[in-house]
Structure 1
Amino acid sequence: MGVLNKINVFRRGLMRNLTKNIGKPKSESGIILVDKTEIKRVLICRPNARLGNLLLISPLVKEVAETFPNCKIDLFVKGPLAPIIFENYDVVYKTIHLPKKPFKNLLEYINVWISIRKQPYDMAINVDQNSSSGRLAVRFSKAKYKFYGDLENDRQQTKSDYEHIAKYPVYNFRHYLTKLGLKESNKIVEPIDLKLTPFELSEGKKILSTLNSNNSKKTICIFTFATGTKCLSEDWWENFYTSLKNQYTDYNIIEILPIENVSQIAFKAPTFYSKDIREIGSLIANTEIFIGADSGMMHLASSVQTPTVGLFSVSNLKKYEPYDNCSIGVEVENCSKNDYFKIVNGILNNGRLKTYSRAV
């Protein structure tokens, strides 16, 4: 680990220790929310720049919008992706971005915190209780109602899927609302959602038709890359791709390439490369199934409601697995080729439980 990385790890650990008690006690004693229509401006804090982590807050955004139908939401994030991801969310008013390197952009960094302080938010919500910047933003805001992401009394044990990173913020938020006198919802947590338009879907279909030599066949989409130890070896992918190709001769197989423009199968399948995540999503939305390791691309596939098979080797499956619409996470070490084919066959035979309207 380099010196800068060590400094970063130390800084994050220090900030977590300094901010872990911000907002405690967790409940706001004596504060009751009488009228939900008084919540007109909400700040949701997820200061993270990763594609997957930003997509994974969309269920919470939808939950807040449904709970407070008259509200507008500001997102406190990092990086340039949030405006693209939430482009078609009318409820999202604006995104506030922390610079990735605050010490090199000190004036911008200070202005972000000033803007949070100036805005008269009615409610501020921190998504991840372990985020020091998120906790600070909630504390720094002038919101009347402040939720720091904490949960009391080990309530996670009451939900079998509580560990999932897209779901526990929703469960925590629902429980927080009971402290304000509101009834706790028992609805199923919404899927993550990129909210593609019919035009985007139509364009994705056109792109897909240029990749396939036989457009009468349906398409299987694979993504062979992932960061760090999550990336499966070239040998693993070569064997898997060969078996997949032999098993599904009635399907086209395409590979989505990462921004690094590399392939673990040496570009043997027709490939698609783009830096536009909505364009990539529109293409994946026109395929029958997506297969890839735990990554932002896996969550992107899930967010366009394409049945997704997530391949897990080191990540926490319960925390990150794709869900909804026949999607599933599998642990590579415990899965044989026959197991994969059973899973894929089950998805292909059942089809989509729900889908975007596809262009004719």
Structure 2
Amino acid sequence: MGLLKKINVFRRSLMRNLTKNIGKASSQEDIILVDKNDIKRILICRPNGRLGNLLLITPLVQEVTEIFPNCKVDLFVKGTLAPIIFENYDNIDKIIDLPKKPFKSLLKYLNVWISIKRQKYDVAINVDQNSSSGRLAVQFSNAKYKFFGDSSEESQHVKNDYDHIAKYPVYNFRYYLTKLRFPKSNKIIAPLNLKLSSSEIADGKKILNDLIHNDKKTICIFTYATGEKCLSEDWWESFYTQLKREYSNYNIIEILPVENVSQIAFKAPTFYSKDIREIGAVIANTDLFIGADSGIMHLASAVQTPTIGLFSVSNIKKYEPYDNCSIGVDVNLYTRKDYVKTINSILNNGKLSIYSDAI
């Protein structure tokens, strides 16, 4: 581990220790939310700029806007991806983004915190209880109702999917609402959702048709991932050979990462783009996505394409794709027969998608 990385790890650890008790001393049990229509503006805090982490808060955003349909939501994030991801979310009003390198953009960094303090919010929500910036933002806000993201022990013991990073923020927020005298909710948590438009889906279909020139169904692979999550070229070469042999009646295309690299040496037809919504639209027109734990894996899940997430080091229960026959698999335990069985099961069940009418 390099010196800068060690410093960053130490900084994060220090900030978490300093902020972990923020909000725990204050009790809001005596506050009752009489009328949910009184909630007009909500702040949701997830100061992270990664594609996957931003897509993973879409279930919470859907939950919040369903409970409070008349509200406007401001997102406190990092980087520039959030406006793209939440482009078609009608309730999203402002995107408040921290600069990726605060010490190089100190004035903007300070203005972000000032804007949070100046705006009057009815509810402020921290998504991840371990986020020091998220906890600070909620504490710093003028919101009447402040949820710091703390876990619900009740949900941890009852919900078998509580560990999932897209789901436990929803369970925790639901529990917080019961403290405000809201009725307990047992609704199924919404899937990740990029909310592609019908025109975007149509454009994705045209791109795919121009790439494959036939009417066969399509399997989409993504062979890249960061760090240890990236499977070796040998692994992918073997897997791709197996895919071609077992699914010769399917097209197999590869989505390329922004780095424009391929673990199978570009042997499959490839699609490259830096436009997240365009990539999502192409994947939405395919029948199965296979790729390692990455932002693009979560993107595939967010366009409701059945997804097989390949996990070698990451926590499957925390990050696996869900809904629409999606699954996370441990590549250290799976055999070739296991892959075929899983893929056949998904393909035979067919694709159930909110975009199916447009495809």
8 Å Cα contact 1:202/1:358 also seen in 2: no
**1:229-308 to 2 correspondence within 5 Å?**
229-308=228-307
8 Å Cα contact 1:192/1:303 also seen in 2: yes
**1:83-98 to 2 correspondence within 5 Å?**
83-98=83-98
Displacement of 1:359 in angstroms is 3.5
Q: Name the SS for the 1:97 alignment partner.
A: strand
One-letter identity of the residue aligned with 2:139: R
5+ residue gaps, structure 2, are none
1:5 is aligned to 5
8 Å Cα contact 2:56/2:165 also seen in 1: yes
1:24 is aligned to 24
One-letter identity of the residue aligned with 1:338: K
8 Å Cα contact 2:152/2:171 also seen in 1: no
Deviations 1:247-293 (A, max 9, x none): 10110000000011000000000000000000000000000000000
Aligned mates of 1:155, 1:188 — CA distance in 2: 14
Q: Name the SS for the 1:333 alignment partner.
A: coil
Displacement of 1:26 in angstroms is 6.6
Q: Name the SS for the 1:76 alignment partner.
A: strand
One-letter identity of the residue aligned with 1:329: G
5+ residue gaps, structure 1, are none
- Alignment of 1:133 with 2:133, yes or no, is yes
Aligned mates of 1:264, 1:358 — CA distance in 2: 34
2:352 is aligned to 353
Q: Name the SS for the 2:205 alignment partner.
A: helix
One-letter identity of the residue aligned with 1:49: G
8 Å Cα contact 1:274/1:280 also seen in 2: yes
Using the aligned pairs only, state the percent identity: 74
Displacement of 1:357 in angstroms is 3.7
Displacement of 1:210 in angstroms is 1.3
Aligned mates of 2:351, 2:157 — CA distance in 1: 31
8 Å Cα contact 1:27/1:179 also seen in 2: no
Aligned mates of 2:357, 2:252 — CA distance in 1: 20
Deviations 1:209-245 (A, max 9, x none): 11114x1211100000000000000000000000100
Aligned mates of 1:187, 1:155 — CA distance in 2: 13
1:167 is aligned to 167
1:329 is aligned to 328
- Alignment of 1:52 with 2:78, yes or no, is no
One-letter identity of the residue aligned with 2:180: L
2:104 is aligned to 104
One-letter identity of the residue aligned with 2:148: Y
**CA RMSD for the aligned pairs?**
1.0
Aligned mates of 2:92, 2:308 — CA distance in 1: 30
TM-score (norm 2): 0.98
1:144 is aligned to 144
Displacement of 1:63 in angstroms is 0.3
8 Å Cα contact 1:198/1:358 also seen in 2: no
2:200 is aligned to 200
